[in-house]
Every structure is written in structure tokens, then in C-alpha cells.
Amino acid sequence: MDLEYTAEEQAFRQKVAQWIAANTPPQSERGSVEALRAWQKRLYAAGYLGAGWPAEYGGARLSPMEQAIFNEELARANAPSPINVMAIWWVGPAIMRYGSEAQKQRFLAPILSADEIWATGYSEPGSGSDMAAAKCRAVRDGDFYVVNGQKVWTTFAHISDWFFILVRTSAEGAKWAGLSLLLIDMKSPGVEVKPIRQITGDSEFNEVFLHDVRVPVANLLGAEGQGWEVVSSALVNERTGIAGSVRFDQAFDRIVGMARTHGRSRDPLWRQRLADLAVKARVVKSFGLRAMSDQLHGRVNPHMSAAMKLFTTELGQRFSETGVDLLGAYGTLWEGSPRTPDRGRWAYQFLYDRSLTIAGGTSEVQRNIVAQRVLGLPRK
């Protein structure tokens, strides 16, 4: 793979860097849902969202490399991600692949424009990351499904308009064979959302209760019993990519700066610890380049995302642990105070990073995927 950017790609990088600098919302506005909707609308209007989506559904006319460069520059500028990022990664591609033409016309464009925010409902209280054990039940009643059950750890459910939810439509056969995928209007009678207060003090995750929720059969995505396939194909779209390595490089630079400030840069034990982080950050970059190479050459490696997710989320925890350890007792001080080192961001990051080895499939699940489907190891 040629790792050099062409002159045209370098010019595109400069153009988007200038656009991001001129349009990124200030830090003070990033806690507002409406400000983040407006930010995504600017991204969409400028043609920077939905690369790979057909133009008739609002897709950007960017090459895969241009989209990667844009994502890299977003990360470098510490700009917020699109508020509807899960729908862009998962919901939209699934609807394009499995949806009817009516579903594509109805749902795709509002995803990119952020007119409709989506949540995804996989995990349940009794099964966690074992999606095949889902018990949330959908029973056919004429032209409707009647849905009863509960989902948990549902990101952004409290601000979402629609729900991309895995439900059980049959108890026959293998447990994964009776699963289906429904598209549910979050304003439907019987949908109850309860935010979960997290260790960081935020409430990004939610419990969602469904009591006799009536969903039109027209909102079934794919066929009955195809839910496992739909969700599995959607999750493959989650990639760390090159942008992930930019964030690790930025964190590493901050940590090295703190090590110098606190007199640890010449300590051989700390130097070894920092060197380990530097090597693993480079591995993340190589992961991203490999994923980009696969995309450019039309190769499909559905299990690589499991390895990337496992490696990057656990490395993120190593970074935040190192930041807190470097600061000692000061590392426990909360963010936002100008008197605390690095404005206390490491304490928050340390707590937030605990969630990332659970969200999107636990590290244990990712290890099973890598062991069985990449390394070919036996189950027992």
C-alpha cells in the first residue's frame, strides 16, 4: 500500500481543516442537543457526511480516502462527532442493505440531516452482550407487532426519535434464529425511557421499557428471523480507522508533557511505560491503515472490527490510567477547574473509559470472536 497522500488529497486536507476551524461549535455549546444537531446539519450541507451512501439518499460525493481524511481532521481539531453517528454507522447501512424502497425513502435522508436521531436496542438486563439471548418479544397481531420487554445501556434513547431494536418473534429453533429487527417510533404509546446516571455523572445510557407497543408490520427490517444477520452486518461497520490513531497521538503528547512537568521523563520505569503506549498507539494507526486498504481494494474482513474494538478500548483505559497515575493525588480532581493539572480531564476520562470495554460488545465477547473466527481455536 502506498502510504503517501497525493497532491489532490493534501489539498483536500487543507480545505477541510479550514472548514472545520471555521464551523466547529464552541466548547460551551457542545452540551446542547440542538447545537449538536445544528453542527451535523452543517456537516451534511457541506457534503461531508454519508460517503458511500447513494446520492439519491443524500450521500456525500466523497471518495473513501477523502472521508478518511475528513474524519482524521475532525479528530485533530477535537471537533464533536455527528450527534447521529450510530445511525450513520449502523442504522443507515442496514436499511440500505435490507430495507424496502419505501423504508429507504422514509428513513435515510433524515439520518444524515439529523432531523431524526436514532438509538439502537440490543442489550437486555438478563443477557448483556449475548444478543442471541434477547427476550424482548414481538407478537404479530394483524398489520402490527405488539412489543413487550426491556432494553438497557441504550445510548441516546432519551433524545432519540427512532429505535433500531432487536426483538424475538419466534422461540423455535436456535436462539439466534427467532430474532427480527423492528424500527420503532420512540413517541409510540407504551415506550418509556429512564436515563441511567453513570459514574461520570452523565446520563448518556438509558433503560427502555416497552409495554404493548404497537409497531406497523411495514417497520420490519428484512424478513422475520433475519434480525441476527441484520445486526451482525451492521456492527461490522464500526471502525476506529485512522482518526482513532490521531486521538491516541494527542493523548500521548499530553501524557509526555505531564511526565516532563512532573519530573518523570527520566525515570526508567516511566519511560518504559510511555514507550509501551507509544508502540501500541502506532499499532492502532496500522490497524486503521489496514482497514482503509481493505476498503480501497474491496476486501471484506468482518472479524477485524472485533480485534480493533478490543485493542483500542483497552488501550484507551491504559492511557487514562497512566494520566491519573502520573498526577498522583491530583489525578482524582474533577474536570473544569483551572487549578487542577490538565484541567482535571484525566479523572473524567478515567471513569468514562470504563464504559468502552462494555459498549458495543464486551471485551470478553470480542476475545471469543477473535479466538474462534480469526485464530480458529476450539470452543472448549
Known catalytic residues? Answer: 238
Residue (of 158, 80, 149, 167) closest to 117 by Cα position: 158
Whole-number Å distance between alpha carbons of 142 and 144: 5
Whole-number Å distance between alpha carbons of 121 and 181: 10
Written as nine digits, the cell of 260 is: 516532563
Residue (of 219, 229, 366, 377) closest to 307 by Cα position: 366
Whole-number Å distance between alpha carbons of 213 and 138: 9
Whole-number Å distance between alpha carbons of 280 and 278: 6
Separation of CA 263 from chain center: 37
Whole-number Å distance between alpha carbons of 107 and 186: 14
Residue (of 94, 157, 85) closest to 123 by Cα position: 157
